[in-house]
Amino acid sequence: MNWEKFYSERAKGLRASEIRELLKMTQKPDIISFGGGLPNPESYDIKHVRECIDYVMETKAKKALQYGTTEGYSRLREFLAEYMTEKGYDSSPENIIITAGSQQGLDLVSKVFIDKDDTVITESPSYLGGLSAFRAYLARIEAVPLQDDGMDLDLLEERLRSEKKPKFIYVVSTYQNPSGICMSSEKRKRIAEMSLEYDVPIIEDNPYSELAFSSEPPEPILAHSDGNVLYLGTFSKTFSPGIRVAWICGPSEIIKKLVIAKQSTDLCSNVLSQRMVYEYCKRGYWKENIKKIREMYRRKRDIMLKAMEEYFPEGVKWTRPEGGLFLWVTLPEYIDTREMFKDAIKNKVAYVVGTAFAGGKNTMRLNFSYPSDEEIVEGIKRLGEVIKSRMK
Ligand SMILES: Cc1ncc(COP(=O)(O)O)c(C=O)c1O
C-alpha cells in the first residue's frame, strides 16, 4: 500500500532533521563531541533517586502503578506552585500542569494555539525542538535577532506594530539554548509590557534558569506578567531527562485548556516518575543537587573558555554564558560552519552548525556539560586547528 498518499497535510511537512543525521556521525567513540545537549551523567544523584523509588514502591505502589489525573500528581503540583511563587508568580496548583518533558509542553502549546499559517515570533537563533513543534502545526516562523542581553526588542516592537498579529512570542529567557545568552531584567519587564500593550502572549521556555553559575538567575518574565505569559519548566536538566517530568505554569484557564489537549495525547504523565520526583524534592535533594550541578558546569564552562582563549585564532567571537549548557561561537563571515563540519569530523571533533537553530552560516553551538574536562581541552584544541585552516 502507498501510505504516503494518506498522509495528513501536517505529516507531509514532517522531515527527518538533518541535524540529527549529522549528530549521528559524531557518536563514534574517538570523536570528541560538543554537539549534543545532554546533561553530564555525573549529575545524576543515583543514591537518592533509588531511595525515593524504593520509598514509593514500598508505600504507594498501588497508586504509583495506576493511571493518574491528566493535570498531574497533586502533591507535585502543590510543590511546584510554591516554587513558582518563590520565583515571583503567585501560584496555586490550578496554575500548574505536569507534562512529559517541556518538549511535550511545546507540542501542547502548539496544539492549543497554532492554526495553519499563523505566525510565531522566535529568537534568532532559537531552540530547534521549539521550532520543530511550531512547524509541525504549520506555523510560519519569524525570527528576531538576539543581542547580548536578549531579543532585540526594538525590532520586536516594529514587528508587533504591523497589521498581521503573531499568535505568540517564544522566548528561551535564561542561558538560552543554543546561545547561552540571558535576557536582562530590564528587557524582561519591557517584553512583558509590550506583550500586554500589543495583546500578544509570551511563551517563556526556561529549562536552564536553575543552572546559574555565579549569582541567582534573573526573575522569569512570568514574574512581570498579568495573565499574558505561559511558563515552561523542567526537571530534565537538574534531575534526569529520562524520567520525563516537566511543568507548565500560567493562568488557570489556559492550564485547563492544556489539560484537555493533553488528554488526547497521553491521558496522563508517568505517575511513578511524578511521585518519585515529588519525594526527591520534598526531601530537599533537588535543591542540593542543583548546587552540585552548578559547580560542575561552572568548572566546565571555565575550562572551555580558557581553552578557547588559548587555541582559537583572532577574529573568532564567543559568548560567555553565566549558566546553562551551551555557548555560541561566531566565525568570520566567509567561513561556513556546515562546510567546515567535514574537516572537523576528520579532525575528530564535532559541533552543531548554527543554521540548525536559524542562526548565521558562520556560527556554531558548543556544549560544555557532557564532555570530560580533558576532552574539552583536547576538543577545543582540535577545533582551533580546523578553524585556523579555514582562516584567510
Ligand atoms: C529550550 C529547551 N526547551 C525544551 C527542551 C526540552 O526539554 P525536556 O527534556 O523537558 O523535554 C530543551 C531540551 O534541550 C530545551 O533546550
Tens digit of each residue's pLDDT (9 = 90 or more) over 231-270 = 999 999 999 999 999 999 999 999 999 999 999 999 999 9
Note the pLDDT tens digit of each residue in 293-333.
Answer: 999 999 999 999 999 999 999 999 999 999 999 999 999 99
* Domains along the chain with CATH numbers: 3-45+289-390 (3.90.1150.10), 47-286 (3.40.640.10)
Mean pLDDT computed over 201-227: 96
Taking the centre of ligand 1 as the mean of its atom positions, its distance from the CA of residue 310, in whole angstroms, is 32
Q: Is the pLDDT of residue 24 over 90?
A: no
Please tell me the distance between residue 143's alpha carbon and the centre of ligand 1 in angstroms: 19
Average pLDDT of the segment spanning 183-195: 98
Q: Which residue has the cell 502543590?
A: 78
How much distance in Å is there from the Cα of 33 to the middle of ligand 1? 19
- Cβ–Cβ < 8 Å for 331, 359: no
- The identity of residue 85, as a single letter, is T
Burial 263-289 (b: 16+ CB within 10 A, else e): eeeeebbbbbbbbbbbbbbeeebbeeb
Question: Is the shortest distance between the CB of 102 and ligand 1 below 6 Å?
Answer: yes
Local structure of 267: helix, strand or coil: coil
Spatial CA neighbour of 258 closest among 109, 129, 133: 109
Q: Is the pLDDT of residue 374 over 90?
A: yes
pLDDT score at 36: 87
Q: Whose CA is nearest to atom 16 of ligand 1?
A: 177
pLDDT bucket at 211, cuts 50 / 70 / 90: very high
Q: Which residues pair with 365 in a beta bridge?
A: 328, 352
Residue 12 has pLDDT above 90, yes or no: no
Q: Which atom of ligand 1 is nearest to the CA of 325?
A: 16
Does 205 sit in the ligand 1 pocket, CB within 6 Å? Answer: yes
What tens digit of pLDDT does each residue of 43-77 get?
999 999 999 999 999 999 999 999 999 999 999 99
Q: Ligand 1: which residue has its CA nearest to atom 14?
A: 37
- 207 pocket-lining for ligand 1 (C-beta < 6 Å): yes
CA of 103 to the centre of ligand 1 (A): 6
Mark 347-364 as b/e (b = at least 16 C-beta within 10 Å): bebbbbbbbbbbbbebbb
Q: Is the dihedral of CA 91, 92, 95, 96 positive or negative?
A: positive
**Grid cell locating 158:** 516594529
Q: What average pLDDT score do residues 340-356 get? A: 94
* Nearest alpha-carbon partner for 390 in 341, 317, 329: 341
* Helix/strand number for the chain, H first, E second: 14, 14
Rounded to 5 degrees, φ, ψ at 181 are: -75, 145
- Ligand 1 pocket test, pick from 104, 122, 127, 326 with the greatest ligand atom count within 8 Å of Cβ, gives 127
Helices (H), the chain: 9-12, 18-25, 46-59, 61-64, 74-86, 101-113, 128-136, 153-161, 185-198, 252-266, 271-282, 285-311, 337-346, 373-390
Cα–Cα distance, 105 to 123 (Å, whole number): 18
Residue 14 confidence (pLDDT):
84
Distance CA 126, CA 105 (A): 16
Instruction: In whole angstroms, give the CA distance from residue 117 to residue 280.
Output: 43
Indicate the pLDDT class of residue 18, thresholds 50, 70 and 90: low
Asked if residue 220 has a cis previous peptide bond (ω within 30° of 0), the answer is no
Q: What is the mean pLDDT of residues 17-37?
A: 80
Among candidate residues 196, 186, 248, the one with its CA nearest the CA of residue 227: 196
pLDDT-derived band at 199 (thresholds 50, 70, 90) equals very high
> Does 120 have pLDDT greater than 80?
yes
